[in-house]
Structure formats: structure tokens, C-alpha cells
Amino acid sequence: MPQNPLLAEHVAPPFQHLRPEHFPPAFEQGMAERAAEHRRLRENPEAPSFANTIEALEDSGRLLARARNLLGHFASTLEDPAWQDLEAEYSPRLAEDSARLFLEPGLFARIDALRAQNPALDEDQARLLDSTWRGLVRAGARLDDAGRERMAAIEAGMAELEARFSRTIQEAEAAWTLPVPEHRLTGLPGDARASLAEAARQRGTQGHLLTLSRSTFESVLALSEDRELRRTLFQAWSARGAEEARDNRPTGQKILALREEKARLLGYPDFAAYRLEETMAGSPEAVRDFLGRIWQGARTAVLADQERLAALAARDGINSIEPWDWRFYEERLRQTQQGFDEAELKPYLSLENLTAAAFDVAHRLFGVRLVPADLPVWHPDVRAYEVLRGEAVIGLFYVDNFVRPGKKSGAWMNALQDHEAFRDARIPVVLNCNNIPRGNPTLLGLDDARTLFHEFGHALHGLLSTARYPSQSGTNVRHDFVELPSQIMEHWLTAPGVLEAHARHVETGAPIPAELLARLRASATFGKGFAQTELSGSAVLDLALHLAPAGDVELDGFEQALGEALGMPEAVGFRHRARHFGHVFTNGGQYAAGYYAYQWAAVLDSDGYAAFEEAGDPFDPALAGRLGALLAAGDGRDPMALYREFRGRAPDPDALLRRLGLLAG
């Protein structure tokens, strides 16, 4: 092992040897190496070719990418603030360095000349040449010297502000806790109480402790009979990013202003137009029309539900349903109308059982096996696997499942290394991070179970990749296509044969009763009006934030006015308040003006899974093979062409509404 493990390539990252002090020298060396590689590329006396220009660019900056990926990962998963400090220090430097390097006129001139030659290339190569050229244009390669200088400063500024926004949320979630005495836990089942006890233990205290973990939030709001406790938790959740010491609102406004300036510098009327040009949707108008259709169906359903919930609440002397009441009375209504109680299901949904189920689905669909591997990990919670097809290792997979202090909330997939095969073949190194409350045993609610399958779908997108070039591999696809593999995988949680094979009672080992499964499946669309209203409302909010002149946006006031204009029921509200909308304001703005992608992809996944239902077999070999080909291709093929080849036709635009029970037919 070298003195600095970052400086050498490893198939499995040497997590156990990596320390904060290793990163600054790796970043400095990585920036220097990449600058030298780009200089050689620009100054190459040979005429530009795909190999000496595009492939040379693909092969550059490896040390820098490795260090950057690992730092982002550690800053999101480890409690030591040194990692967040490093991210805050280097994010703007790396962003500015990248902007300046990729805006060098000589680089664009070489790629522009190659594109003008219209060389004979394979489909993936032609797409890569075109996307590289368009990426440079959209980065500012055609700007004058002053414009390129300003663009580099904008990128640095956005990176700094986004890192600050992210850290503020992480700190707010870590800082808020609430001790809860035993007598206030009424309604919470044993596993929920155990997770609150575990949260207290992790923080060195006794008893039960509420935290701002998403799983805790959902569980307490749905099950706690203590209305005041629900209110306190909801208000703390909502207040993230608005506390005096951690106020994200000015930061968000500055991010919006820089994005608007970037878009206008490039000749676009607003950031939404800039962002959506490179998506399947193509324009803000298309997204607005799409969301409007979803919104109307969801809002109609949720208003009908509100009347039924209000009638239930009135029996408890509650005259007005508040946001902290909705999930509680919805759960009661589901038990009454559907005869389904999630507490009855949870003993069959242990984390161990559900992990085995997800792995079995991957094996039956795609012929891969995930085998435990003795590899270095970044935390004792983490489990590592080799991914095998036959006897060949095609990838490494890490799972970090449990909530803990200092870990970023939510759930995500990340690729520390993408598949590639254009020079030396490299296997993908992929991880899933969830935030499941630990129990003994750990039991999953439906939300956590779906999330586990969802993130595993993202992981399979990376692990099954056969793309030749890393920038086209795995999840490096059109933004509104990337959620298809994850969301379609959720359907297999309740697909025939899956829970029947894997859901076993944690105490008795008995298989899940067929009658309970039938009630679960019958309740599949229950409450979807609420879920789609809060989700599509946030997508509308995101789009509106990036269409409005930034100078007119004060986050809270803008959000309130939009909610009133939409007719957003106060008891529902936006899934994400602007002040803590991490999807939109962090991670390079991956979902900025693009949060709609979850529902866009939901049309594709609803229509796509319907093909298996029509075939009468959730593991139909021909369909599974075509779905595997869709995942493997990455961005080497046009996404709509991939979908048509899988489904045999274009997607049905009504598939989502029909599946959710929000459309007749």
C-alpha cells in the first residue's frame, strides 16, 4: 500500500486506509495530471481523430475523478466533519478548474473540427462525439474570453453554495433530537420503538429518541396516537434549512441567481430552458403540460380522500386535518377500507429477507448472483458483494443500509467507478446507501422496502452496464430516463412469487399468508392521491423556481404563492420545502428543473412493467432479456429507441394514471 492510497488504482477501494489528509495532495496531483493530459491533447500535431481526441478525453483525469468520488461519498456517510470541511474547501476549486480547462479554445476547436468531418463511427461513438461537442457548447466554449472567465467563476460559485446548502441540511438533521418518554409512544409497534431506542443508544443516551430520519418521520406520522408528538416532529422536519443558524433561504436564492446568469450568458431565456434541452421532454412547456395532467388527477383524488379523513378525525374531536394528521388518519382509513395493516406485514419483511428477495429478482431476471465478499468497507454497517455472471466478476456492490448520526438523510446510489471497455476493461464499483432504522431484527415498512428495491434498480443499471465508454455507462443517461431502471424494479417487490418465496415471519419462520398478500396487493393504489399530489407539487415548484426571474424569488414567499395558485391542500403540502430541497440545490443541481423526472420515468416504468403482466409472467425470459439490454446500453443508444425495442412500441402516456387508479380504464 503506497503512502497515499489514493494515488494508486485499486479494483476495490482501500477504504480502511483512506484519511482526510490523503485528499489535498491527491487533488493537487490530479489537477496537474489532468491539465497536462489536456495540454497534450490540444497540442497534438496530428489531425483530430476519434481516438486521439474523444477517447483521449475519456481517458483523462482518472486520479481526480477517483478522489472526488470518494470525498463526496465520505462527506455524505461519515460523521467526522473533516470530510465536510474538505468538500466545502475543494468543491469550488475543482469546479472552477474544470470549467477553465474544458473552456480552453483549443480543445473545442479540435472537437469542432472532428465533428465537421462527419467521420464513420459506431452508434455509441457518434453519440459520444455529439454529446461531448454539445456539452462544451453548453459549458460556454463559444463564449468570448470575458464570457469564459465569468462562466468559470459562476461554476465555482455554484459549487461552493451547493456544498453549503447540503451541509446545512445534514447539520440540521444531525442536531435535532427529541427524547420521548414511554407513555408517549402509544400506537408505535415494537420495531418502531426499538429503532427509537437504538437512536438513543447511538447518541449515548437512554430511553427513546426521535430524530429527523425519513423512516422515523414516516413511521411516527402514520402510527403515533400522540397528536402533539406528530406536530412537533412535522414542524421540525419542515423547518430544516430555516433555522437562524442554518438558514438555507439566502443560499438557495444565490444559487438560482447564478443558474439564471449562466443560462442567459449562453443565450437561453431561463435555466429551465437550458436544463431541459438535453432531456427526453425537451422543453419547459412539455414538462409543464405533463405535470399539469398528473397534478389534476392527483389533486382530484386527494380532495376526495380529504373528506373521508376529516370524517374520521372528527370522531376524535379534530375539526381540521393538519399536515401532521394526514398519514395517521390515512393509515386508519386503509385499515378500515382495505382491511390492511402494515404492522401485520412488517414481521415478514426483515431486511435480510428483502435483501435476499432483491438479489433473487436480479438473478431470475438478469442471470447475475451477488456473493458476499471480504472487502474493505468505510463503516462496520457496510456489506460488500461480488457480482457474478457465471464465474466472471462483473462488478462490486456495497450496501450501507442503516441510519446513523452524521449520515446524509434519504437514499441514493453512487458509482465510484463506471464500467468501460475501450482501453483496459474496468468493472463497475457501485454502492447503495439507505437510512433504515436499525432493529433486532430490522423490520421494513413498505416505504423502506420499496426504497431498497428502488436503489437496487439504480445499482443494477450501473452493474449490468456493457457500455464501452465510462461517460456513457450505467446511470450516465438522459436525466428523465435515469429513474426508469430504479422505478421499474419497485414492481418486483409485490410481483407474484417474490414475497411468497422470501417473506418469512421473523419469529416463527412461517411463510407470509396468501390472504395477507392478497390484501397488500389490493391496497396497492390506496393513498396514491396524496403521494402524487405532494410529489407533483414539488416538481411544479422546482420548475417554477427555474422559470421565474431569480430577483423575484424569495423562497418561502414564492413557495406559498405557488401553493395558493395550484390549490395545494394545506394538509398535504409539497413533499420538499424549497429551503431543504436537496435534489434541486445540491449535488451539482442534478435534479434542478428536473424533479419531474420521477414521474416522467413512472410513465415508462408503469407501461414497461405492464408488459410482464400482459405476458402473465414477471420473469418472462424474452422480456427480461430486452430489459437487461436496456439497462446495459447506458447512453450508447437513444433512450426512446431502447424503450421501443424493450416494449415493442412507444410508451402509453396514460399508463401511470391508470396504474394509480387516477384514470378510468
Residues tagged active-site? 455
Pairing outcome for strands 429-436 and 392-402: parallel
DSSP letter at 50 equals I
List of residues 6+ apart from 422 with CB closer than 8 A: 55, 58, 468, 469
- Say how far apart CA 226 and CA 617 lie, in whole Å: 44
- Say how far apart CA 193 and CA 167 lie, in whole Å: 29
CB 210 within 8 A of CB 192: no
Q: Three-state SS for 217?
A: helix
Burial class (CB in 10 A: 0-12, 13-18, 19+), 587: middle
Q: Three-state SS for 420?
A: strand
- Say how far apart CA 642 and CA 644 lie, in whole Å: 6
Residue found by looking up cell 413557495 in the block: 559
**Residue closest to 235 by CA, chosen among 245, 247, 227:** 227
DSSP letters, 87-127, are HHHHHHHHHHHHHHHHT-HHHHHHHHHHHHH-----HHHHH
Determine the Cα angle at 419 with ends 418 and 425, to 5°. Answer: 130
Q: What share of the chain is helix, strand, coil (3-state, %, to 5)?
A: 60, 10, 30
CB 448 within 8 A of CB 436: yes
Ramachandran bin of 245, using left for φ above 0, alpha for ψ from -120 to 50, beta for the remaining angles: alpha
| Residue 608: count of CB within 10 angstroms of its CB | 25
- Say how far apart CA 496 and CA 617 lie, in whole Å: 8
List of residues 6+ apart from 459 with CB closer than 8 A: 397, 413, 430, 431, 432
DSSP letter at 653 equals T
**Integer CA distances (angstroms), 494 to 450, 585, 598, in order:** 9, 34, 20
CB 253 within 8 A of CB 165: no
| Residue 330: count of CB within 10 angstroms of its CB | 22
Residue 577 sits at φ, ψ, to 5 deg, of -70, 145
Calculate Rg over the CA atoms of the chain. 25
Residue found by looking up cell 459520444 in the block: 128
- Say how far apart CA 320 and CA 516 lie, in whole Å: 33
Helical pair 23-43 and 105-117, crossing angle rounded to 10 deg: 50
CB 249 within 8 A of CB 241: yes
Residue found by looking up cell 462490486 in the block: 396
- Say how far apart CA 432 and CA 370 lie, in whole Å: 14
- For 232-265, what is the HEC assignment? HHHHHHHHCCEECCEECHHHHHHHHHHHHHHHHH
